[in-house]
């Protein structure tokens, strides 16, 4: 997984959307990466490996909605 400190540092240096992926397998981690500066999170494995991908995706979407930026 990409360290949050790296996400924050890269976000400060660029003016394009920041896409972060790898190791994002649950809602808490997805939210953590967005709060660190990610504009987009990639969650492929989270949906492929969980028994209930619909529930997993729903949890991730709910978590990300709670940290929307203006």
The DSSP result for the chain, as a single string, is: ---HHHHHHHHHH-SSPPEEESS--SHHHHHHHHHHT-SEEE-HHHHHHSS-HHHHHHHHHHHHHTT---
The confidence score (pLDDT) of residue 70 equals: 62
pLDDT digits (tens, 9 = 90+) for 7-38: 999 999 999 999 999 989 899 999 999 999 99
Grade residue 49 by pLDDT with cuts at 50, 70 and 90.
confident
End-to-end CA distance of the chain: 26
* pTM listed for this prediction: 0.84
Q: What is the pLDDT of residue 15?
A: 97
Lowest model confidence (mean pLDDT) among 31-35, 38-42, 52-56, 59-63: 52-56
What radius of gyration, in Å, describes the C-alpha atoms of the chain? 12
């Amino acid at each position: 997984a990409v360290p949050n400190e790296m996400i924050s540092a890269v976000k400060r240096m660029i003016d394009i959307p920041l896409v972060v992926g790898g190791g994002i397998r649950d809602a808490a981690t997805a939210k953590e990466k967005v709060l660190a500066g990610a504009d987009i999170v990639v969650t492929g494995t989270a949906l492929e490996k969980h028994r209930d991908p619909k529930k997993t995706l729903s949890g991730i979407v709910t978590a990300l909605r709670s940290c929307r930026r203006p």
